[in-house]
């Protein structure tokens, strides 16, 4: 995930999405309902939940000053392709798709999220290991906060970060989903290695 793909400008970041238009849609997945929010530049939100109202509230809270509206049917072909790629990744043994992101991030968050994108599928790192890897060994707590602020579940794989004790730690979309995502990736990796 190159820094150039984290598209929202610092001014838009400070204004919580003011002047940005976001379209959203939901789709069922093995991990529950998934909502995708996107600008004309890329995906700005991926979340999991049980109800679309709950997910929409989270999207609106993330970008409280943006213009947020449902994607009209038929979906824009690009948006449809993004949904299909994510649904296939979550349902089948296909690699994580490389999709454009348009998200708000501080410089520290961007460093954390870029590192997370490089953790191989099926592997985990502790918050402390991530802090050391990005050159800030005393920042484990800040790494955990950056993971909690990640607006793009799965594409930025914060589910691959756990506590140093081996416990799962927190997950914005629920610990059950975090465990299931890790287990799915490990099973997928094992099948690939024995194929």
β 161-162/125-126 pair status = parallel
The answer to whether residues 13 and 84 belong to one domain is yes
pLDDT at 17: 60
1 pLDDT above the threshold of 70: no
Give percent above pLDDT 70 in the chain: 90
The owner of tokens 């109800």 is 51
5 pLDDT above the threshold of 70: no
pLDDT at 67: 92
Query: Where is the domain boundary, 63, 91, 119?
Result: 91
How far apart (Å, rounded) are the C-alpha atoms in residues 31 and 36? 14
User: Within a domain: residue 97?
Assistant: no
CB-based contact 40:19 (threshold 8 Å): no
pLDDT at 2: 36
10 pLDDT above the threshold of 70: no
In whole numbers, what is the pLDDT of the chain averaged over residues?
87
The answer to whether residues 144 and 182 belong to one domain is yes
Give percent above pLDDT 90 in the chain: 55
The answer to whether residues 33 and 79 belong to one domain is yes
CATH code of 137's domain: 1.10.10.10
Please give the structure tokens belonging to residue 59: 């999207």
CA angle 68, 32, 175 (to 5 degrees): 105
CB-based contact 162:144 (threshold 8 Å): no
The answer to whether residues 141 and 180 belong to one domain is yes
Task: Express each pLDDT in 83-139 by its tens digit.
Answer: 889 988 888 777 788 899 998 788 999 999 999 999 998 899 999 999 999 999 999
The answer to whether residues 50 and 113 belong to one domain is no
The answer to whether residues 114 and 80 belong to one domain is no
The answer to whether residues 113 and 85 belong to one domain is no
11 pLDDT above the threshold of 70: no
Task: Express each pLDDT in 45-61 by its tens digit.
Answer: 999 999 999 999 999 99
Please give the structure tokens belonging to residue 21: 């238009």
How far apart (Å, rounded) are the C-alpha atoms in residues 30 and 25? 17
Q: Is the dihedral of CA 26, 168, 107, 99 positive or negative?
A: negative
What average pLDDT does range 167-176 have in this prediction? 88
User: Within a domain: residue 32?
Assistant: yes
Q: Which residues of 124-140 are buried (b: 16+ CB within 10 A; e: fewer)?
A: bbbbbbbbebbeeeebb
9 pLDDT above the threshold of 80: no
Instruction: Grade residue 36 by pLDDT with cuts at 50, 70 and 90.
Output: very high
Query: Where is the domain boundary, 56, 91, 126?
Result: 91
Query: Where is the domain boundary, 45, 60, 91?
Result: 91
Domain that holds residue 37: 3-91
The answer to whether residues 63 and 116 belong to one domain is no
User: Within a domain: residue 173?
Assistant: yes
Q: What is the pTM of this model?
A: 0.85
Query: For residue 15, what are the CA distances in angstroms to 6, 42, 118?
Result: 16, 19, 30
User: Within a domain: residue 81?
Assistant: yes
CATH code of 75's domain: 3.30.160.70
The catalytic residue positions are: 158
CB-based contact 104:17 (threshold 8 Å): yes
The answer to whether residues 84 and 18 belong to one domain is yes
Better-scored residue on pLDDT, 14 or 58? 58
Q: How many independent structural domains does the chain possess?
A: 2
The answer to whether residues 74 and 17 belong to one domain is yes
The answer to whether residues 64 and 113 belong to one domain is no
């Amino acid at each position: 995930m190159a820094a150039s793909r984290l598209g929202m400008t610092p001014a838009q970041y400070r204004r919580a999405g003011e002047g940005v238009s976001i379209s959203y849609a939901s789709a069922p997945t093995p991990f529950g309902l998934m909502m995708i929010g996107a600008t004309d530049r890329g995906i700005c939100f991926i979340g999991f939940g049980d109800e679309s109202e709950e997910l929409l509230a989270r999207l609106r809270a993330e970008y409280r000053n943006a213009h947020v509206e449902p994607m009209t049917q038929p979906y824009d072909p690009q948006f449809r392709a993004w949904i299909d790629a994510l649904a296939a990744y979550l349902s089948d043994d296909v690699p994580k798709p490389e999709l454009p992101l348009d998200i708000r991030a501080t410089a520290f968050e961007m460093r954390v999220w870029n590192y997370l994108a490089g953790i191989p599928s099926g592997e985990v790192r502790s918050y402390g290991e991530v802090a050391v890897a990005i050159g800030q060994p005393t920042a484990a707590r800040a790494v955990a906060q950056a993971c909690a602020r990640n607006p793009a579940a799965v594409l930025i794989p914060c589910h691959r970060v756990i506590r140093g004790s081996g416990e799962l730690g927190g997950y914005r979309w629920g610990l059950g989903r975090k465990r299931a995502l890790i287990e799915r990736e490990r099973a997928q990796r094992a099948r690939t290695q024995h194929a």
